[in-house]
């Protein structure tokens, strides 16, 4: 039971009150069992415990993605956009696009960007801190000033898209992540503008539009080598523009929240900037910017005492798994001393985030630049949440950055 008298299976996971604070709902869901019918929607089950979520993510044969990873079942409903060749497919179709993209976004390829992004981080932070008064304090909403602007500064350039029109990226992503959920008011709010945003995004995926040295060009080069087709290439580029912006914005929002609310962790990170990577992954576990994805039962699947019928949707609560006390000690605590690896904030298995090295590099570059100049990050006012059917996000995070002098 949640704080109200409603059984957890009858709670709407996508209501505004659940989105504002999903933690009590998630705790009740985990306690109710390994899998729970979610009766607000047809043929839907929810999984909130780490063990089952982790196992299901590895079991792509029975928990498939090809019928969509949102509530909508592509066997019955027309998807709102052509399905992603990476996210919304199963083997064997999934494999060629994944094989192409993985090395383009892999650690070896990113070495080329490391110096550039660290320099960009320094410039970005210097520009923000230039406004500090005589007290050496900058009070700012870090969502626009850091979490949004830094990914928007480095990532679209790395993909190789033109400057013009980049304001479409965040609203496109916000709508896309809402569209994995039910057709509620959040989806209705985005619907009038989808066509403009999607039209622009799709147009950036053409070979002629992309620079010849970015991730986009590397995808087209794989098409030239016959590793994917020329029809597939633009959709693989689209995945970068779909999954690569809002996710990192809210990942950075999460790690900034962690640093502001855990000053001792910030002090340790300053003393040892190598801790930036574990801080980021622990923040991904703790906040889980991507909260949920769905799977579809390929056959009747027994889970505990329940049989999920073939064709039913299963809502996998990644954020809940990442805070399951059955798996994690003191899971609600942000703890730089824990090993967060094994968290499912980037998913797990075949579909595990192919861009995670890019995300980590962005976080490292920004945190290193902040660590070099900012002694303390303080919460200046209560943050506000941005509601999204998939993402756990902040709208605003007013903070005070106290400079080291």
Chain residues that interact with ligand OVM, rule: CB under 6 A? 84, 86-87, 176, 238-239, 242-243, 290
Identify the CA nearest to 276 among candidates 336, 358, 227, 216. 336
Buried b (16+ CB within 10 A) or exposed e, 168-198: bbbebbbbbbbbbbbebebbeebeeebeebb
Shortest approach of ligand OVM to residue 290 CB, angstroms? Answer: 6
Which is closer to ligand OVM, CB of 124 or CB of 351? 351
Give the residue with the Cβ less far from ligand OVM, 84 or 288. 84
Shortest CB 272 distance to ligand OVM, Å: 30
Least Cβ distance, residue 182 to ligand OVM (angstroms): 17
Using omega within 30 degrees of 0 as the cis cutoff, is the peptide bond preceding 17 cis? Answer: no
Beta strands 306-308 and 301-303, pairing class: antiparallel
Judged by CB, which is closer to ligand OVM: 79, or 398?
Answer: 79
Distance CA 163, CA 198 (A): 16
In this structure, are residues 168 and 159 in contact, taking their beta carbons and an 8 Å threshold?
A: no
Shortest distance, CB of residue 88 to ligand OVM, whole angstroms? 7
Residue 366's nearest CA partner among 251, 241, 288 is: 251
Cα 171 to Cα 190: distance, rounded to the nearest angstrom: 8
Residue number with CB closer to ligand OVM (194 or 267): 194
Q: 255 or 290: whose CB is closer to ligand OVM? A: 290
Whose CA is closest to 396, among 405, 388, 404, 385? Answer: 385
For residues 176 and 173, what is the distance between their CA atoms, to the nearest angstrom? 5
In the complex, the smallest distance separating the C-beta of residue 354 from ligand OVM, rounded to whole angstroms, is 8
CB of 99 to ligand OVM, least distance (A): 15
* Closer residue to ligand OVM (CB): 44 or 201: 201
DSSP classification of residue 35: -
């Amino acid at each position: 039971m949640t704080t109200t008298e409603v059984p957890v299976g009858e709670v709407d996971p996508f209501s505004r009150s659940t989105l504002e604070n999903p933690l009590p709902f998630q705790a009740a869901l985990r306690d109710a069992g390994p899998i729970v019918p979610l009766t607000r929607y047809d043929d839907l089950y929810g999984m909130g415990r780490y063990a089952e979520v982790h196992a299901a993510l590895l079991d792509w044969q029975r928990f498939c993605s090809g019928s969509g990873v949102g509530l909508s079942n592509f066997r019955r409903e027309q998807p709102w956009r052509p399905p992603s060749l990476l996210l919304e497919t199963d083997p064997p179709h999934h494999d060629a696009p994944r094989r192409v993209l993985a090395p383009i976004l892999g650690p070896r390829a990113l070495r080329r960007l490391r110096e550039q992004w660290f320099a960009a981080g320094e410039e970005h932070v210097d520009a923000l801190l230039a406004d500090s008064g005589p007290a050496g304090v900058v009070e700012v909403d870090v969502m626009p000033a850091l979490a949004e602007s830094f990914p928007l500064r480095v990532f679209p350039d790395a993909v190789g898209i033109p400057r013009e029109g980049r304001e479409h990226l965040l609203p496109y992503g916000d709508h896309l992540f809402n569209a994995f959920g039910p057709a509620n008011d959040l989806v209705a709010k985005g619907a009038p503008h989808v066509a403009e945003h999607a039209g622009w995004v799709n147009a950036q995926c053409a070979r002629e539009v992309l620079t010849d040295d970015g991730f986009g060009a590397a995808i087209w080069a794989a098409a030239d080598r016959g590793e994917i087709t020329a029809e597939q290439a633009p959709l693989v580029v689209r995945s970068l523009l779909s999954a690569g912006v809002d996710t990192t914005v809210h990942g950075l929002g999460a790690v900034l929240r962690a640093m502001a609310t855990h000053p001792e962790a910030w002090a340790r990170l300053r003393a040892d900037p190598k801790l930036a990577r574990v801080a980021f992954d622990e923040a991904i576990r703790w906040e889980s910017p991507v909260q949920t994805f769905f799977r579809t039962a390929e056959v009747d699947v027994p889970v505990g005492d329940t049989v999920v019928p073939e064709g039913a949707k299963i809502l996998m609560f990644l954020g809940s798994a990442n805070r399951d006390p059955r798996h994690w000690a003191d899971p609600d605590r942000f703890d730089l001393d824990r090993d967060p690896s094994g968290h499912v904030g980037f998913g797990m298995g075949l579909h595990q985030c192919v861009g995670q090295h890019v995300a980590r590099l962005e976080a490292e570059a920004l945190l290193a630049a902040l660590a070099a100049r900012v002694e303390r990050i303080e919460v200046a006012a209560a943050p506000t949440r941005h509601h999204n059917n998939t993402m756990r996000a902040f709208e605003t995070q007013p903070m005070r950055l106290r400079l080291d002098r």
